[in-house]
Amino acid sequence: MFLAHPAMDLKKKYIDFYQEWKESREEMIPFVIKRNPEDFQSMLDYLSNCEKGTEPPENWIPESSTYWLIDNNEMIGVVNIRHRLTEPLFKAGGHIGYGIRPSKRKNGYATQILSLALEKSKELNLEKVLLVCNSTNAPSKKVILNNGGISDKDFIDEQNNILKRYWIELK
């Protein structure tokens, strides 16, 4: 099991992952998987530009790195690491967003993808990272706590959702 940079040779695996998620009709998390992969090279260029800080999403941060979790020759999940926080991300987004394809949940992959993302965050010279999840999302809270999350002050968003905020030290 490993994190891979998005690449053309992983196109079929990504399309299978994307189609499963679309068919589930669940919200696509993290935000980068909402991008239609029909023009796959354009999507790869977009992700590369986000990492370089040359094409940030609107109201987002200049640099974010995306990785794909591969296990047994199958794409399992996606993680996006924001290199720094804006005020909105500090309140309600955090440094790391991840998602596991619907058919692979409850198998420990979320805990593993976050653990691997924390290693990548260290490589980015981050000293600590913020993770945020909805207070009703017990599985995400468990994943964050299993990776050393320390609870911080909650945030209430515009829809009155209570967002749990956790810090993980990387030193």
- Which pTM value belongs to this model? 0.92
What are the CA-CA distances from residue 109 to residues 63, 105, 113, 154 (Å)?
25, 7, 6, 26
Confidence band (pLDDT; 50, 70, 90) for 56? low
- Do 13 and 75 touch, CB atoms closer than 8 A? yes
Confidence band (pLDDT; 50, 70, 90) for 52? confident
Domain boundaries, the chain: 2-120
**Phi, psi at residue 65, to the nearest 5°?**
-105, 135
Mean pLDDT of the chain: 93
pLDDT at residue number 31: 81
Q: At what angle do helices 138-146 and 109-123 cross, to 10 degrees?
A: 50
What are the CA-CA distances from residue 99 to residues 10, 53, 55, 76 (Å)?
17, 22, 22, 9
Please report how many Cα atoms fall inside a 13 Å half-sphere around the Cα of residue 45, on the Cβ side: 4
Q: Output 155 or 61, whichever has higher pLDDT.
A: 155
CATH for 2-120, among 3.10.580.10, 3.40.630.30, 1.20.120.140, 3.40.1390.30? 3.40.630.30
Question: Mind listing the pLDDT tens digit for each residue in 73-121?
Answer: 999 999 999 998 988 888 888 999 999 999 999 999 999 999 999 999 9
pLDDT at residue number 57: 58
